[in-house]
Amino acid sequence: DAKTTQPPSMDCAEGRAANLPCNHSTISGNEYVYWYRQIHSQGPQYIIHGLKNNETNEMASLIITEDRKSSTLILPHATLRDTAVYYCIVNSGGSNYKLTFGKGTLLTVNP
Amino acid sequence: EAEVAQSPRYKITEKSQAVAFWCDPISGHATLYWYRQILGQGPELLVQFQDESVVDDSQLPKDRFSAERLKGVDSTLKIQPAELGDSAMYLCASSFPGGHTEAFFGQGTRLTVV
């Protein structure tokens, strides 16, 4: 699976959009981009995933660049409860489906 | 909402003792994962099951760790003997097999070896 690079930390004001970047320049054609987050002392929680089209669900939006070498997770209106470590993961799925976590980005939402 | 159940939530054990963790995945989830998370790092996959079969245990320290999922439902992870460096959060997750699907994680077991 391709390696991902994320900033170690970011800050965001409550109510504003949080934009979390991820670089995955070695991604291959059959690999998806997944985002999970982990609130302190809890297990990771799935947010969203996509292949090449932008995706949106009730939690977030995922924007993948046309060359698929990077992506951005957008939390449109961040709340204090969105403070967490956010992990960007690239995975090819199928029988090799397994999640390889990096260190992620600690997003701190400030009042 | 269905959840992955893990027990115990916290465990303190002395080094060289045996310790076991239990996980009950979401009903119908054939794939089960055990992860270890050291403070400040992301979770690291220890073992992955498909039903009762191990499909990946390449990162499992087999001299002291063992995992089983005898009936393809719940699972047990054991450490014997425990070492100080085993202090970590042990997370269980489950998912439907194959494809591109989300994994659901339990709350984890926080192990402290003293």
* A88/A20 Cα distance (integer angstroms): 9
Compare CB distances from A101 to B43, B56, B102 and report the shortest one's residue.
B43
**pLDDT for the residue B16:** 97
Chain A residues close to B93, C-beta within 8 Å: 43-44, 99
Q: CA angle at residue B69 from B66 to B74, to 5 degrees? A: 120
The tens place of each residue's pLDDT in chain B, 114 residues long, gives 789 999 999 999 999 999 999 999 999 999 999 999 999 999 999 999 999 999 999 999 999 999 999 888 999 999 999 999 999 999 999 998 776 788 999 999 999 999
Q: How far is CA A104 from the centre of its chain?
A: 8
User: B112 CB near a chain A CB, below 8 Å?
Assistant: no
Summarised one tens digit per residue, pLDDT across range A31-75 is 899 999 999 989 999 999 999 989 999 999 999 999 999 999 999
Q: Are B92 and B103 in contact (CB under 8 A)?
A: no
Nearest-neighbour CA in chain B from A30: distance (Å): 11
Compare CB distances from A46 to B41, B45, B102 and report the shortest one's residue.
B102
Chain B residues close to A46, C-beta within 8 Å: 102-104
